[in-house]
Amino acid sequence: MTVEGTATASSAEQSGAAGRQLTVLLTCAMAFSMLQLFLLGALGPRLVTELGVSPAVLGLTTTIGFGTAAVLSPAGGRIVDRIGPRRSLVALLLVSAAALALIGAAPGAALLLGAVALGGVPQALANPATNKAVLRAVPPARRGAVTGLKQSGVQLGAFAAGLPLALLAGGIGWRGAVWTGAGAALLAGLWALRVLPADPAAPPAGPRTSLVPRGMVAWLAVFSLFLGAGIASVNTYLALFGAQRLGMGPTAAAALVAVLGVAGIAGRVGWSKAARPGRAEWLPGWLACGALGAAVLLAAAPAAGPLVWAGAIAVGVFAVSGNAVSMVLVMQRAAPGRAGQDSALVAAGFFGGFAVGPPLFGQLAQSGRYGPGWLLVAAEFAAAGAVAFLWAVRDRREAAA
């Protein structure tokens, strides 16, 4: 091989290593942005017993966290577009560490809810910051795959909460497990500060764009609202359902969240790769249909216990993959300079659903009525599917006109 050929190969290897490092970092950022909510769901049986919170308050943690994220998301998108992905990602990870540390120190419901509200900040930054990083550093041909991988970080967080951290809670207590997560987020933030390239100079201030979603973004925001409502109820109450209705121990019940997380990783990576223009527009509707079937499996689990595992897997493969496909669509169609803002507006719908879903389910769980709760989740997924199909049909008509 010539010197020139060797240099070219070395440059390609370095570029590939940098790309892999970026993908891992973005995946970690997505995982930590929502780790607190998965931990509260996976450790729910322990929190109800040891901290004395009720199932309704457990659902309120999700409402406050995602309500904060929904309110902050439009501004978060503008902030990311202005300051760049590096500063945004470092801030995301450091604030995640602080929120987790406060959750671990909470003596009761009041500080717990305050810490969860702080955790809404990294959630608001996560999608616009990571999408902006992908658009800046990843070639167009690989953006779908990288987006799927980094979106799977959310489900990696579910796996971490449901298995290793839940097992750790059995040994050193739930507070120690949460503080371990806080330490890991802090290390990830320092890593991001060291390895990410500097942000470009801020673009000149232009006219303020509307915070009201329009066109495709509006349709995806409404789809995400219903999808998020169903997913949040599953995340928050699946472990408690396993413990209270199916007789599972706390660790086994938390493993349901881990299984959901692993299935979600596979689903988000696979469906995002499949979301090519012309096909991506129809995927949200079909994924919502699969999610509807998953909710029916959970409703039937008290009569046939093993169905709860099938339902958890199906929620991961279908429901949680819908958000990843939405983000692929945003990146495929965003106007120049609007990727952060459009991502944030779709995410605001998703977070709004996360804020609304658990309190509705929590009222049913409080009285032990999990069957109607899962049917409510099925109805939310059905509504998401109807919205997605209506948009896909309209989009095809507009393209043909």
CA distance 25 to 45: 31
For position 44, what pLDDT does the model report? 81
Write out the two tokens for 102: 């406060």
Question: Please, are residues 382 and 288 in contact by the beta-carbon 8 Å criterion?
Answer: yes
Q: Please choose, from the candidates 159, 82, 111, the residue with its C-alpha nearest in 3D space to the C-alpha of residue 316.
A: 159
> In this predicted structure, what is the pLDDT of residue 313?
95
Distance CA 89, CA 264 (A): 23
Q: What is the reported pLDDT for 210? A: 54
* Strand positions, DSSP E, 124-197: none
Distance CA 298, CA 119 (A): 29
What's the predicted TM-score (pTM) here? 0.75
Q: What is the mean pLDDT, run by run of 10 residues, along the chain of 401 residues?
A: 46 62 90 88 82 80 83 83 88 96 90 91 89 82 81 80 85 93 95 84 56 77 95 89 91 87 87 84 95 97 94 95 88 72 84 86 88 96 97 88 69
Asked if 281 and 395 count as a contact pair (C-beta separation under 8 A), the reply is: yes
What pLDDT, on a 0 to 100 scale, did the predictor assign at position 337?
Answer: 66
Phi first, then psi: what are they for 152, rounded to 5°? Answer: -70, -15
Res 273: pLDDT: 83
Q: What's the token pair of residue 129? A: 């910051």
Q: Give all domains of the chain, ordered by start, each with its CATH number.
A: 23-195+212-400 (1.20.1250.20)
pLDDT tens readout for residues 334-368: 766 676 778 888 888 888 898 888 888 988 988 88
